[in-house]
Amino acid sequence: MLAISFIAAISLLTATPALAQVPKPAPAQSKPILLLGGTLHVGNGTVISDAAVAFDKGRITYAGAQSGFSQDRGAYEVVDVKGQEIYPGLILPNTTIGLTEVDAIRATVDEAEVGTLNPNVRSLIAYNTDSDIIPTVRTNGVLLAQVTPRGGMLSGQSSVVQLDAWNWQDAVVRADEGLHLNWPAMVLRLNPAEDASVTEKRELARQAQLRDLEQLLGEAAAYRAQPAGRRENLRLSSLGGLFDGSKTLFVHVDYGKEIVESVRFAKRLGVKNVAVVGARDAWMMLDFLKQNDIAVVVSRIHALPRRPEDDYDLPYKLPFLLQQAGVRFCLDYQGDQEVPGSRNLAFIAGTAAGHGLTKEQALTAVTLTPARILGLDKDYGSLETGKSATLVVSSGDLLDMRTNNVTHAYIDGRAFSRENKQTYLRDKFRSRYDLK
């Protein structure tokens, strides 16, 4: 009986189609490629019809009108994309992709560390390139992601990865580029029946948290000023980049007064680069954000307003209000099923385009602007000569869920597989019912 069971198990394993597995990462680009005839969306607001995009060894050598391309086309592998749209690869900030697989299975969730202040925690080394979710996300045009830790008050360090790699070492684009702070919520006595002493205790606990945070940042600044050869302290050295601008402090905060409080707190302690994440009340603080040059990572566009008196479409039009005020911003995907749902990043941008932004402004909010906020714009975020050939081609509007259909995709010039478990199941049942 045992032998029969073993044979049955082996048969079941060998019968599993290879296409249902995570695809093998693509090899490095081996020959020059030329995309011809499509409409080029550069990512900076420029649109070029009947365009040509050439790239070799992972770098763009030409991006512009086809009429201006004078090189020998015979030296290229020519891909006809006439009638299609060419876009930079989308960049997904503030995500736990690769850290969380199945929310209900604790063993597959590695997004948070024990404790309150964990600046030395690195999300990068926990990033799982074999996640089944990653191929489903990049098939929809998302090619880079900021892998972000959660939990505690100072969660740790995020890193930017590209989504086609054998391991985290191969995936990394920019390591440990930011630290993430969950700002302690202000204590509000919303329930008149609540005893005043309870409110006071909660406020005292909050003030204690802020004192601990201030002490840690103060120690980190003092540690950084010590001469070379000092004894290594990982907690303090991990914070050093905040004071020279090499790292950004991402403050996760929504309430308007808390936005002002957190930014002033960070600036007072010498933090050079501050960005706010979530920021659902950012529309109240537009002048403050502009004056302090604070970048905003906008979360939860697909949400209800926070207050009964708010405009019904306030979450949808928040990007437009930021754009009008001249505040730097980008879009992330937050909501139910955060990780698998992040494939809808393009449609989040599409929603913003339907509520004030132009299509190209919305595209910039998921390409060039996040690249600038994350310090990647020298290589990513727009399709310009000398930059990485990280791009997608869609037969329709990438930001419209009705027409989005990625036909070609490249990361650093590598044409990776666009297959995943969902495309496998689609093809399986189409063949079962003779669907085209």
Structure tokens at 397: 């509007």
User: What are residue 56's DSSP bridge partners?
Assistant: 59
Residue 223 burial (CB count, 10 A): 17
Residue spans in the chain of domains classed CATH 3.20.20.140: 90-378
* C-alpha span between 35 and 17 (Å, rounded): 32
* C-alpha span between 67 and 62 (Å, rounded): 12
Residue spans in the chain of domains classed CATH 2.30.40.10: 18-88+381-436
2-14 burial: b if 16+ Cβ within 10 Å, else e: eeeeeeeeeeeee
* C-alpha span between 258 and 270 (Å, rounded): 18
Task: Please tell me the pTM assigned to this model.
Answer: 0.92
* C-alpha span between 45 and 363 (Å, rounded): 8
> Phi-psi category of 226—alpha, beta or left, where left has phi over 0 and alpha has psi -120 to 50?
beta
CB 251 within 8 A of CB 217: no
In this prediction, residue 189 carries a pLDDT of: 67
Q: Which CATH class is domain 90-378?
A: alpha beta
* C-alpha span between 119 and 34 (Å, rounded): 44
Closest alpha carbon to 344 in 95, 55, 59, 3:
95
In this prediction, residue 11 carries a pLDDT of: 43
In this prediction, residue 17 carries a pLDDT of: 46
Q: Per-residue pLDDT for the chain (436 aa), expressed as one digit of tens each?
A: 444 444 444 444 444 444 457 889 999 999 999 999 999 999 999 999 999 999 999 999 999 999 999 999 999 999 999 999 999 999 999 999 999 998 888 888 888 899 999 999 999 999 999 999 999 999 999 999 999 999 999 999 999 999 999 999 999 999 999 999 999 988 876 677 767 778 888 889 999 999 999 999 999 999 998 888 788 899 999 999 999 999 999 999 999 999 999 999 999 999 999 999 999 999 999 999 999 999 999 999 999 998 999 999 999 999 999 999 999 999 999 877 788 889 999 999 999 999 999 999 999 999 999 999 999 999 999 999 999 999 999 999 999 999 999 999 999 999 999 888 888 888 888 888 877 6
DSSP string for 175-221: EEEEEEEEPPPPP----TTS-HHHHHHHHHHHHHHHHHHHHHHHHHH
Structure tokens at 297: 């990572």
Query: What's the DSSP call for residue 386?
Result: T
> How many residues belong to the chain?
436
* C-alpha span between 342 and 133 (Å, rounded): 10
In this prediction, residue 22 carries a pLDDT of: 86
CATH architecture, range 18-88+381-436: Roll (2.30)
